[in-house]
Amino acid sequence: MKITVIGIGKVGSTVGFMLAREGLASELMLWNRTFAVAEAEATDIQQACAFTPFRVQVRAARNVEDTAGSDVLVVCASVPTPEDMSERTVLAHGNARLLRELIPAFAAASPAAVIVNVTNPMDAMTWHLIQLTGFPWQRVIGTGTLVDSARFRDLLAEQTGIHPVDLKAYILGEHGATQFAALSIATAGGEAIDATPAREQLLEETKQSPFRVFRAKGYTNYAVASAAVMIVESIVKDLRHTLPVSVQINGFVGVSDVCLSLPAVIGRGGVCFTMTPGLSEPEQACFRKCAATVSAVIQSLH
């Protein structure tokens, strides 16, 4: 299994380390515009592999050709993030230009790859990657609200006294300001999780927590890298996990031609199928609002 990570900043390097530590690749390529950075990270990660039971070859890619034949491309490339960023859409035009410059060559070198996108603004850039590569939408997956759902479950666990893994509660829609908690379908042990005001308030905490981390340390990396690696693991091992990820929407509650997060079953070829949860009427309206927000960002890129 050959995996390439494109963009070796804080998130990309963390993704690379976690992929190697979990033995998910036999060949792990790290590509960065500054080759010395990728080379240093590759050396460090390769040496860390000596502490694992896995045989992983970690190398820095000198050029796109070194990444040819990758089974998975993890896109972490981004323009610099403003120190005062409070909304991911400020990155849209810069990252769209960056992806236009970089991604077609990687896609041509690995035409059968599944793309896992981490670049923000998540949903608009995932849609943009489908257009740039010409890949079927099933092979272009954004981390989407997987990380938001994990944050929400972590907070919800404190209220319910139930382990986060056992809480079937999703944040859906946009990985951004219009995301919503689909509490009408939330369960634990087959029992509904009531949408109390206190639980609905957790959505705001979920939205704000990454920005508090960002303002304190200048970046977020562990949670989003964990989300990306969970998706990659489901692809590599064909696990068929159901994950709330950013995918192309084709008619759900009247929404099409945009990427948003819905629960999707992820396997070796990417998205096996997308679930169509029975959202309440207010939640359906929230989903359509997310679509309008992301569509406006997409239109601004033309």
11: CATH = 3.40.50.720
SS3 state at 112: coil
Domain of 279, CATH number, reads 3.90.110.10
Is residue 17 a contact partner of residue 8, using CB atoms and an 8 Å limit?
Answer: no
Same domain, 102 and 124: yes
Is residue 15 a contact partner of residue 77, using CB atoms and an 8 Å limit?
Answer: no
Same domain, 57 and 203: no
Same domain, 123 and 170: no
Same domain, 157 and 97: no
Same domain, 282 and 164: yes
Residue 284: burial class (beta carbons within 10 Å; 0-12, 13-18, 19+)? middle
Q: Token pair of 91, please?
A: 């990155």
pLDDT at residue 269 above 80? yes
Same domain, 150 and 104: no
Determine the longest span between alpha carbons in the chain, in angstroms. 54
Indicate the pLDDT class of residue 243, thresholds 50, 70 and 90. very high
- Short-list 85, 266, 258, 252, CA closest to 182: 252
* Mean pLDDT on 145-154: 96
CB atoms within 10 A of CB 50: 6
Q: What is the pLDDT of residue 22?
A: 96
Phi-psi region of 282 (alpha: psi -120 to 50; beta: other; left: phi over 0): alpha
Select from 93, 121, 142 the last residue of a domain: 142
Same domain, 167 and 276: yes
Q: Determine which of 2-11, 67-76, 189-198 has the lowest per-residue pLDDT on average.
A: 189-198
Is 175 annotated as catalytic? Answer: yes
* Mean pLDDT on 7-36: 97
Q: What pTM was estimated for this model as a whole?
A: 0.95
Same domain, 29 and 168: no
- Name 28's Cβ contacts closer than 8 Å, sequence gap at least 6: 2, 3, 4, 5, 16, 19, 20, 42, 45, 56, 57, 58, 59
SS3 state at 257: strand
Select from 107, 124, 142 the last residue of a domain: 142
Ranges of beta strands (E only) in the chain are 2-6, 27-31, 57-60, 72-75, 114-117, 140-142, 167-168, 171-172, 180-181, 187-188, 191-192, 241-252, 255-267, 270-274
Q: What is the pLDDT of residue 85?
A: 67
Q: What is the pLDDT of residue 11?
A: 97
Phi-psi region of 134 (alpha: psi -120 to 50; beta: other; left: phi over 0): left
Same domain, 170 and 215: yes
Q: What is the pLDDT of residue 210?
A: 86
pLDDT at residue 86 above 70? no
pLDDT at residue 67 above 90? yes
Mean of the per-residue pLDDT values of the chain = 95
SS3 state at 252: strand
Tell me which of 128, 175, 241, 302 is the catalytic residue.
Answer: 175
Q: What is the pLDDT of residue 36?
A: 97
Same domain, 172 and 264: yes
Select from 87, 107, 142 the last residue of a domain: 142
Domain membership of residue 92 as a residue range: 2-142
